[in-house]
Structure 1
Amino acid sequence: MTFLGARRGLQLLLGLFLYGFSLAMMIRATLGVSPWDVLGQGGSLRTGIPFGTMTIIIGVIVLLLWIPLRQRPGVGTVLNVLLVGPSAEIGLALIGEPGQLWARILLFTGGLVLLAVASGLYIGARLGPGPRDGLMTGLHTRFGLPIWLVRTAIEGTVLLLGWSLGGSVGAGTVAFALLIGPMINIALPVFRMPERAGPRLELLPSERTP
C-alpha cells in the first residue's frame, strides 16, 4: 500500500468516526438536528431501536435505492453505512445533556463545526460518497432535475417523516440547513486528496466555491 493510499484510508476512517461523534454532540444539545437525524431519532423513538442502529438501517435502505438509479458504491460508501451509527452511539454514551442554554448552544456549535471537518475528511478521501449523497446525485442524473430541487425534496420529505415520528426539530435544524453547506465548502479543500490519489469525486453544486 502506498503512503497516499494509507493516508486516504486513515482519513476516511477518522472522518466517519468524527461524523458520528458530531451527530451525538448535536443530539445532546437538544436544539434540533439535521433532517436525516430527525428521521433517525423518530424511528428510534417509535421502535425502541438505538439511534446508532437506526442510522445504519436507514443507510442500508437508502443504499438499496441506488440499485434502480444504477449508482455504484465505493468502499467509503459501505463504511459510511457501517461506521457512522456506532460512532454516534459512542458519542451518546460519553456526552451528557447540558442543563444551561449557553452550554447547549456551545455543544451544538462544536458539533456542527466538527461535522463540517469530518465531511471534509471523508469526502476528501475520494473513496466513495455517502449513501444520501449518492441518492441525491443519482436522482439528479436519472430524471434530469436540478440538484437543488432534488436535495430540497429529499430533505423536506425526510424532515416531515422524522418529525411525524417524534424526531427533534428546532433552531438547530434551521442552523444546520443554512450553515452546513458553506462550512463544508471551506473544509473540503483543506482535506481533499490530490487528483492522482484516486478517482475524481465531483462536488455538489452547493459545495462548489462561487
Structure 2
Amino acid sequence: MIRLRGRRMPRRVTQLLIGLFLYGIGIAFIVRGAIGAAPWDVLTQGIARQVPLSFGTITILVSIVVLLLWIPIRQRPGTGTVLNALLVGPSADVGFSVIPQTDVLWIRVVFFVIGLLVLSAATGLYIGAAFGPGPRDGLMTGLHRRTGWPIWVVRTGLEVTVVAAGWALGGNVGVGTVAFALLVGPLCQFFMRLFAIRLPEPTDWVGPPHTGEIRLAG
C-alpha cells in the first residue's frame, strides 16, 4: 500500500523538530536584545525574577499550565503541541548559553531583528508540519471557537493580560514588545505559506477496493 502521507512523514517530523529548536533560539535572541520581549516571554522573565528556575524551565511550566486551560474549552492537543511544550524551553536555554549579553545598543537591535526573523521562520516550520498548534496558539483558537469572539480580540486580550502580569513581576517591556506585536503576524503568515506541507484530504484517496492499494488522485 502506497500512501503519500506516509512518504511525507520524515519531512514533517524533521521540520517540526527543527522549527521547535529554532523557536527557542529566536526567543533567546529577542531576550538578549533587551529592548522588549514578546508578550509571553515578558511573563516568563517576570516569573524568572521571582523563582530560582531557568527561563527554559519556566517556559515548560507555563506551557503546562496553558495546556490545563485547554481542558474546559475542550481543545485537543496534537503531537506538535506536546513537543512544543517540552522542547522550546530547553532550546531557549541553549540559546542563552551561546548568545552573549551586551550593552551595545546596535548589537541588541540586531539580536532582536535576528530573533524575530528566526522565531517567525520557526513558527512557519512547526505549524507547516501540521502536528498541531503550540499551547498558546491553541488556547487562542480554542477560546475563539468557544466564545465566538474574533481572533484579534482573543489574542489581544491574552497578550495584554500576560504582558501586564509579566511587567508587574519585573519582565522587560519596551519598544521591542510593540515591534513584535506589530510584525510577528505578517512574518509568520509569510513563513507558514513558505513551509506548509499539504496533506491529502480524505476525499483525495482513491483506488481499486479489491487491490487494497491507495493512491492520491491526480
From 190, 197, 201, the counterpart of 1:193: 197
Are 2:158 and 1:154 equivalent residues in the alignment?
yes
Query: 1: distance between equivalents of 2:148 and 2:80?
Result: 26
Any conservation in 2 of the 1:5–1:197 contact (CA below 8 Å)? no
Partner of 2:187: 183
Identity of aligned residues (%): 55
* Deviation at residue 3 of structure 1 after TM alignment: 3.1
Partner of 2:60: 56
1:121-150 CA deviation, whole Å, 9 max, x = no partner? 000000000010111111111111111111
User: What SS does the aligned partner of 1:196 have?
Assistant: coil
From 105, 118, 121, the counterpart of 1:117: 121
Structure exhibiting the larger radius of gyration computed from Cα positions: 2
Query: 2: distance between equivalents of 1:40 and 1:92?
Result: 14
* Deviation at residue 186 of structure 1 after TM alignment: 0.9
TM-score, normalised to structure 1's length?
A: 0.92
What stretches of structure 2 of length at least 5 have no aligned partner? 203-218
Large movers: runs of 4+ above 4 Å: none
Query: 2: distance between equivalents of 1:172 and 1:79?
Result: 27
Partner of 2:69: 65
TM-score, normalised to structure 2's length?
A: 0.88
Query: 1: distance between equivalents of 2:112 and 2:152?
Result: 26
* Deviation at residue 37 of structure 1 after TM alignment: 0.1
Any conservation in 2 of the 1:42–1:165 contact (CA below 8 Å)? yes
What stretches of structure 1 of length at least 5 have no aligned partner? 199-210
Query: 2: distance between equivalents of 1:197 and 1:116?
Result: 27
Q: Specify the code of the residue in structure 1 equivalent to 2:43.
A: L
User: What SS does the aligned partner of 2:80 have?
Assistant: helix
Query: 2: distance between equivalents of 1:156 and 1:48?
Result: 25
1:80-124 CA deviation, whole Å, 9 max, x = no partner? 000000000000011101231111111110110001100000000
Partner of 2:17: 13
User: 1:190–1:44: structure 2 CA closer, same or farther, 3 Å change rule?
Assistant: same
Q: Specify the code of the residue in structure 1 equivalent to 2:15.
A: Q
Aligned residues: 198
User: What SS does the aligned partner of 1:167 have?
Assistant: coil
